[in-house]
Each structure stands twice: as structure tokens, then as C-alpha cells.
Amino acid sequence: MTPPTRAPAEAGSGPPDPVTAELAACRRELEQLQRDFDGFNYAVAHDLRAPLRAVGGFLDALNEDYVRHLPAPAQAYLQRARDSTGRAQRMLDALLQLSRLGRQRLEQEVTSLSTLADEVRQELMRDAAERVIEWRTGPLPTVTCDRRLCHELFAQLFANAIKFTAGQPRAVIEVFVREGTIPPVVVVRDNGVGFNAARAEHLFMPFARFHPPQAFEGIGAGLALAAKIVRRHGGQIGVESVEGGGATFHFTLSAGPASPV
């Protein structure tokens, strides 16, 4: 007698794979930790803005009404206090922006990255019209993304390239896609000052700075914001550089599930 034929098991009907279950649990825990961290950052930055604004207001009033009556050393101290307060305010604003990015919903739409990058380039060059910058741009893909956030992504990467090529008699900024990459790897390369590649893993951390503040303005939040935008889209971002040899940033915007960080 022929034994009855057993029907094939349906996909997913067997016992759950323990490794997959553990990874899913870790991911949920990581997402919750990131939400908690973003919420903490938002609360701290939001609550500190008001007293810091008050300090800045009093320092401005003191400078406006009494600075000419102060001796030179006191004037210098007052200016340093105003500069430090302004820097702290910019850092709090950056923390708020980073925390909001982690909390807001992505508005996905089909977007031409070529068009977006060109818009950002034109906007930034209005403030750098005196600079000699050669832009070498290749065709970029059309992707599904949050257009507003990707506008900010290009703005941060382009602004970084413009800033760190300031000492070049002829700055060169290249924007292109690496041939044969799936998903497409978008590259932003410059011939600026570069940095020690051994420190690259720290570059996308908030307020990381590899150059003296007197050499280049900024608080070191732009690349952290760029990295968070990429990760919100489920992509990856990286950089290669050598001191004095420029920097090459590259990123993907994956169609897969977004990272929580």
C-alpha cells in the first residue's frame, strides 16, 4: 500500500528560527533605545534654550550699553562670553534638529537626485559667488526618498566640500555614481584639506571636529545630520580621505527597511 503523500509545509509554518527571532528582538530594542535617546535629546535641548537665550540677551544688553565703559580686558572677556553663548545656542539647535529627524515620519516620493543636487548647488553658490569652484557632475539616479531630507543631505555634503576647499586656488567638487553599484552609490568628492583616515569612524558623530575652529567655522553637526538622513532611508554612508588629499563621501539610499539610527 502506498503511504499517503504529505502536503508540503507552508512557508513560515515551522518553528521560528531562534537567530532570526533574537535579531528581531534586538532591532526592536535598538529602535526603542533610539526613540528614548531622541526624546531625551529633544527635552534637554528644548528646556535649555530659554535660559541660554536669557543669558545671551543680558550679554548683548551689557555689550550695547556698557562695553565702552569697560577696560580692554573686560571687553575681551565679554566678547568671549558672547561667542561661547552663541556657539552653545547653535549646538542646542543642532541637537533639536537631530532629535526631530529621528522622530518625524518620512514622506517618500519619486525624486531625481540629479535635479535635487543641481538645486542645492545653485543655492549654495549664491553665498560663494566669489569662490572659484569647478563642479564636475555626472548623472544621478531617480529614487524614492523623502525629498526634503535628501535636499538637506546634499546641502550638508556640498557645504562641507565648499568649506574645506577654501584654501585651494581652484576647488574641484565631483558628484557622480559609482559604476555598476546596486543600490547606486552616490559619491561627493573634493580636493580640500582632507583628514587622517584613522579617525573616519568618528566623523559622523555629533560635534566631531578634526580641524581647529579658528581654521574652519562650524560646530561639527552637519555630517552627523547627513548620516542620520541616510540611515533613516535604510542606506549607508562612508568616507575616505588623506590629510591634504581631499575627501570622498559616498552613500546609498536603500529601498529596504530604514535603520532606527
Instruction: Clarify whether residues 84 and 197 are in a common domain.
Output: no
Please tell me whether residues 51 and 146 are part of one structural domain: no
Mean pLDDT on 227-249: 91
- Residue 227's CB is within 10 A of a number of other CB atoms, namely 25
Q: Which residue has the higher pLDDT, 256 or 78?
A: 78
As a 3-state breakdown, the chain gives helix, strand, coil percent values, each rounded to 5, of 50, 15, 35
- pLDDT above 70: percentage of residues in the chain: 79
More confident residue, 221 or 165: 165
Query: How does residue 256 score in pLDDT terms, banded at 50, 70 and 90?
Result: very low
The residue among 233, 234, 253, 246 whose CA lies nearest residue 160 is: 246
Cα three-residue angle 135-220-44, rounded to 5 degrees? 140
- DSSP sequence for 80-99: HHHHHHHHHHHHHHHHHHHH
210 and 98 in a single domain? The answer is: no
Predicted TM-score (pTM) of the model is 0.71
- Length reported for the chain: 261
Provide the number of structural domains found in the chain: 2
The reply to whether 82 and 195 lie within a common domain is no
Domain CATH code at residue 175: 3.30.565.10
113 is in which domain, residue-wise?
108-251
Number of H helices, E strands in the chain: 5, 7
**What's the CA gap between 36 and 31, in Å, rounded?**
9
- Domain shared by 98 and 128, yes or no: no
192 and 244, same domain (yes or no)? yes
What's the rounded mean pLDDT across residues 58-69?
A: 92
The pLDDT score that the predictor gives to residue 117 is 97
Residues 141 and 70 in one domain: no
Average pLDDT, the chain: 82
Residues 50 and 112 in one domain: no
Between 171 and 40, whose confidence is greater?
171
DSSP 104-126: SPP-EEEEEHHHHHHHHHHHHHH
Q: What is the mean pLDDT of residues 203-218?
A: 69
Residue 122 lies in a domain: yes
pLDDT at 13: 53
